Chains A and B, each alone.
Chain A
Amino acid sequence: MNLVAPPKQDTARLEQVWAVLDTVLDPEVPAVSVRDLGIVRDVIATSDGGIEVVLTPTYSGCPATEVIERDVLAAVHAAGLGPARVRLQRAPAWTTDWISEAGRQKMNAYGIAPPGPVLDQGESLVRVIPRLACPRCGSKRTERLSAFGSTACKALYRCIACQEPFEHFKPI
């Protein structure tokens, strides 16, 4: 671990990188940025003058992981902040609890019910299905249609009040 405070120009550059990462959107939920999702774990200035962005994958089989890597590198390079590389860090495992409050609001406005807090249900085989508020009309008269949705991270719901289907970002 590097305990020496980074030089000033590095601090400014790292802040710029963080700001750039605010503009890189998740390819499958293009309402939230990779920073909102909490998958950017760190941004480091490397000794060879480069930038290392530490990303944590969401799901093992998420096909967006590689697109996100590419988008992050492209954005950092386009802002003239490179050279940059990405390092994937698996542990600790990503959890939806890392999604920012702003990210949750953007998700809801986009029509996806954001995840609630991850509850420790032990190793219970019985799943608790949360009653969600419809992201369109706010009614809590909703029901789950499908445990899996268009991507591994989402489930499919429907609102009984306004009759609209919607997706739910599953807490994991």
Chain B
Amino acid sequence: MTASIQVTTNPAVQYVLRLGDTCLIAGQRLAEWSGRGPVLEEDIALSNMALDLVGQARALLTHASKLEGAGHDEDQLAFLRDERDFLNPTLVELPRGDFAVTVLRNAILATFLKQLWIRLQGSSDSELAGIAGKAVKEARYHQQHAADWVARLGDGTDESRRRMERALRDLWLYVAELFDADAVDEAAAASGLGPRWSDVQAAWTAEMDQILEGGKLQAPKLGAFRSDGKRGRHSEHMGYILAEMQHLQRSFPGGVW
């Protein structure tokens, strides 16, 4: 087994890692649909979106390693960190669930990331701004695709509606975490690196309401429960997804394609 690496607590590095880990873990989850999609077109769509997310993660982790300056590369950051050093919100590590869960999570995430990318195009960090300029186009397409499906399933058959309502109830528990501000966010806002995640809540809520309305669905109220994945405290699902994702690199250190 290759020894794990630890990353710095520098807030700028943590800010970029949060974004990179969000894309990486969401991409890994989505890729589980490859070969298992409900219809061929959707199998291709989910795999393509996973590819975009992993591509965004690669750019972000490469940039995080440059900011960190400890000589790590994108692969080491992805494959050699332990669970507590992953900074993605819990939402993206939850099991892929049924198609309704996948569609709704894609809508929540694409809307959230799109709003971040829009603002990150003005980052004081030109590399991060460049990554955002590319990713915002991809997030828009993902969001529109997910919104189409929310409308079809929410306003579809009794069964599809029942599943969408269940997905909404289950996933909404993990939404509040996205908008919790903390020291990492404050530092990014102060230096011009990027917005606080809480800064996009109003725009996210407005667009999500519109998407849900298309499926004649309504957003539940946000409760008091707070997941805390972006500070490294993950759900029980995180260890399993990392085990699958990191197994090859841990078993065959330094292996490349």
Query: Which A residues lie at the B interface, using CB under 8 A?
Result: 57, 59-63, 89-94, 123, 125-127, 145-152, 156, 170, 172
A62 contacts which chain B residues (CB < 8 A)? 55
Q: Are B44 and A146 in contact (CB under 8 A)?
A: yes
Chain B interface residue count, Cβ-Cβ cutoff 8 angstroms: 37
Residues of A contacting B148 in the complex (Cβ-Cβ under 8 angstroms): 127, 147
Pair B127/A125 contact, Cβ less than 8 Å: no
Q: Are B137 and A172 in contact (CB under 8 A)?
A: yes
Which residues of chain B (112-167) have a CB below 8 Å from chain A? Answer: 114, 118, 126-127, 129-131, 133-135, 137-138, 140-141, 143-145, 147-148
Nearest 6 pairs of A and B residues by beta carbon: A61-B55, A60-B55, A90-B130, A91-B130, A146-B41, A61-B51
Which A residues touch B135, using CB under 8 A? 60
The reply to whether A125 and B211 form a contact with Cβ atoms under 8 Å apart is yes
A59-B52 contact, Cβ under 8 Å, with A93-B134, A94-B134:
yes
Nearest-CB residue, chain A, relative to B207: A125
Q: Does B13 contact A (CB under 8 A)?
A: no
Q: Which of B53, B130, B145 has the most CB of A within 10 A?
A: B130
28 A-B pairs with CB atoms under 8 Å apart are: A59-B51, A59-B134, A59-B138, A60-B52, A60-B56, A60-B131, A60-B134, A60-B135, A61-B58, A62-B55, A90-B133, A90-B134, A91-B126, A93-B133, A93-B134, A93-B137, A123-B114, A125-B147, A125-B211, A127-B144, A146-B40, A146-B45, A147-B141, A147-B145, A147-B148, A148-B48, A152-B48, A172-B138
The answer, among A92, A123, A152, A172, for a CB contact under 8 Å with B51, is A152
CB pair A125–B144 under 8 Å, yes or no, is: yes
- Beyond A146-B44, A148-B44, A152-B48, whether A90 also contacts B131 by CB under 8 A is yes
Q: Say yes or no: is B54 at the interface (Cβ < 8 Å to chain A).
A: yes
Residue from A59, A123, A147 within 8 A of B55 (CB atoms): A59
**Looking across the interface, which residue of chain A has its beta carbon closest to that of B59?**
A60
Seen from chain B, the residues whose Cβ lies within 8 Å of a Cβ on chain A are 40-41, 44-45, 48-49, 51-56, 58-59, 114, 118, 126-127, 129-131, 133-135, 137-138, 140-141, 143-145, 147-148, 207, 210-211, 214
Question: Which of B45, B137, B143 is within 8 Å of A148, CB to CB?
Answer: B45
Q: A125-B147, A125-B211, A147-B45 are in contact. Are A61 and B130 (CB under 8 A)?
A: no
A149 to B143, CA, bound (A): 17
Q: A127-B144, A146-B41 are in contact. Are A91 and B133 (CB under 8 A)?
A: yes
Report whether B41 and A61 are in contact in the complex, using a CB–CB cutoff of 8 Å: no
**Min CB–CB distance A52 → chain B (angstroms):** 18
Contact B138 A60 (CB under 8 A): yes
Q: A59-B138, A61-B53, A151-B48 are known contacts; what are 14 more A-B pairs with Cβ within 8 Å?
A: A59-B55, A60-B52, A60-B59, A60-B131, A90-B133, A91-B126, A94-B134, A123-B140, A123-B207, A126-B144, A147-B45, A148-B41, A150-B44, A172-B138
**Closest Cβ of chain A: how far from B252's Cβ, in Å?**
20
Q: How far is the CB of B33 from chain A (nearest CB, A)?
A: 12
- Among A90, A151, A172, contact of B141 (Cβ-Cβ < 8 Å): A172
Contacts of A92 in B (CB 8 A): 133
Q: How far is the CB of B85 from chain A (nearest CB, A)?
A: 23
A60 CA / B141 CA spacing, docked (Å)? 13
Q: How many angstroms from the CA of A126 to the CA of B129 in the assembled complex?
A: 26
Q: Are B134 and A61 in contact (CB under 8 A)?
A: no
Find A125's partner among B55, B58, B143 (CB 8 Å cutoff).
B143
CA distance A93 to B130 in the complex (A): 7
CB-CB < 8 A to B118: which residues of A? Answer: 123
Q: Which residues of B contact A150 (CB under 8 A)?
A: 44
A60: min CB distance to chain B, Å: 3
Assembled-state Cα–Cα distance A123/B114 (Å): 10
